[in-house]
Amino acid sequence: MKFNLDAVHQSKKPLYTKIYDKLYKLIMDGTFPPESRLPSEPDLAKMFGVSRMTLRQALALLQDDGLIKNIHGKGNFILKTHCNRQTIGLEKVGNPVYKCCTEEITAIELNFRIEMASDYALEVLQRETSAVVYCDRWYKSGNNVIGYALSMLPIEAVTELQIDLQDNTQLKNMLEQKIYDYVNSSTITIKHSVAGNPTTQKYNLFKGEQCDLFIESVYISDKYPAMYSKYYIPTVFSQIQINASK
């Protein structure tokens, strides 16, 4: 099959993709540096000589690429994560919040409780257990709550992992990082969820926006998960990356 290159060169590229290309280059070469605010939409439209509608189509592509984010009432901001295209993605075992949240996490608030095992807990933990430790975590960036996690551990896993529930720092370190040093594998299912469901009553996730929901089971044994978690990240702060290889 032969391609008519002249026809390709003469084809008309949509105007919004041309504006996208120009903005992409300005962002990648540092004219608009990470964490800076883009000029206002009227100023950008005037700069490129296009309508606001055309400009917004170009900005939407940049958001899809994870290069910018829009904060209502404030404008469009360059994400700092675009500088590292080799960031480890969901193909590696590890807490999905640190891989998929575009905001810097400045604090984590942790609460836990112990309850009798429900039918639901027995189903997702895939083992018989008399009690379950429920751990709530709220991820904060400044004054904003930009992520929430609910983790469930069978009481036996607390003993197996030598967790001291009276030591809040040790428990937090185990949930956030150390457990991933022990596990052999994990499974993650990604869904969409509406923020503000009953599990997040203590805080409202950022402006109650729709969330990406990461449902994770981590396995030390092949028989059953050592921990089952649900991670909620508002879509405005969520960027999912998988570095596939053959």
Domain termination residue (choose one: 31, 53, 83): 83
Count of domains in the chain?
Answer: 2
Identify whether residues 191 and 100 lie together within a single domain.
Answer: yes
213 and 126 inside one domain: yes
Query: Which of the listed residues 38, 59, 83 is the one where a domain comes to its end?
Result: 83
| 103 lies in the same domain as 64 | no
Neighbours of 125 (CB within 10 A): 22
- Report yes or no on 109 lying in a domain: yes
Instruction: Flag residues of the chain having pLDDT under 70.
Output: 1-12, 80-87, 195-201, 206-209
pLDDT at 9: 46
User: Reading across the β-sheet that carries 131-141, which strands appear in turn?
Assistant: 107-116, 131-141, 144-154, 227-234, 210-219, 185-194
Average pLDDT value for the chain: 85
What φ, ψ does residue 64 adopt, rounded to 5°?
Answer: -60, -35
| Residue 111: CATH number of its domain | 3.40.1410.10
User: What is the C-alpha to C-alpha distance for residues 130 and 122, in angstroms, rounded to an integer?
Assistant: 9
Is residue 91 one of the residues assigned to a domain? no
> What dihedral angle (degrees, nearest 10) is formed by the CA atoms of 193, 116, 178, 90?
-30
Q: What is the pLDDT of residue 86?
A: 52
Please tell me the predicted confidence (pLDDT) of residue 144: 87
Residue 243 within any structural domain of the chain: no
Are 113 and 224 within one domain?
yes
Q: Which of 52, 83, 114 is the last residue of a domain?
A: 83
- Note whether residue 89 is domain-resident: no
The confidence score (pLDDT) of residue 32 equals: 87
In-domain check, residue 246: no
Instruction: Please report the pLDDT score of residue 206 as a whole number.
Output: 67
**Nearest-10 Cα torsion for 63, 69, 75, 80:** -120
Residue-range definition of the domain harbouring residue 51: 5-83
Q: Are 141 and 172 contained in the same domain?
A: yes
Question: Tell me: the pLDDT tens digits for 104-152?
Answer: 899 999 999 999 999 999 999 999 998 999 999 999 998 888 999 999 9
| Within a domain: 245 | no
Q: Is 130 in contact with 114 (CB distance < 8 Å)?
A: no
- Residue 44 belongs to domain with CATH number: 1.10.10.10
Residue type, 233: I
Asked whether residue 88 is domain-assigned, the answer is: no
**Residue 43 domain flag:** yes
The answer on 140 and 78 residing in a single domain is no
Q: How far apart are CA 19 and CA 59, in angstroms?
A: 9
pTM exceeds 0.75, yes or no: no
Q: What is the CA radius of gyration of the chain?
A: 22
The amino acid sitting at 60 is A
- Biggest alpha carbon–alpha carbon distance for the chain: 72
Do both 101 and 212 map to the same domain? yes
Q: What pLDDT shows up at residue 5?
A: 41
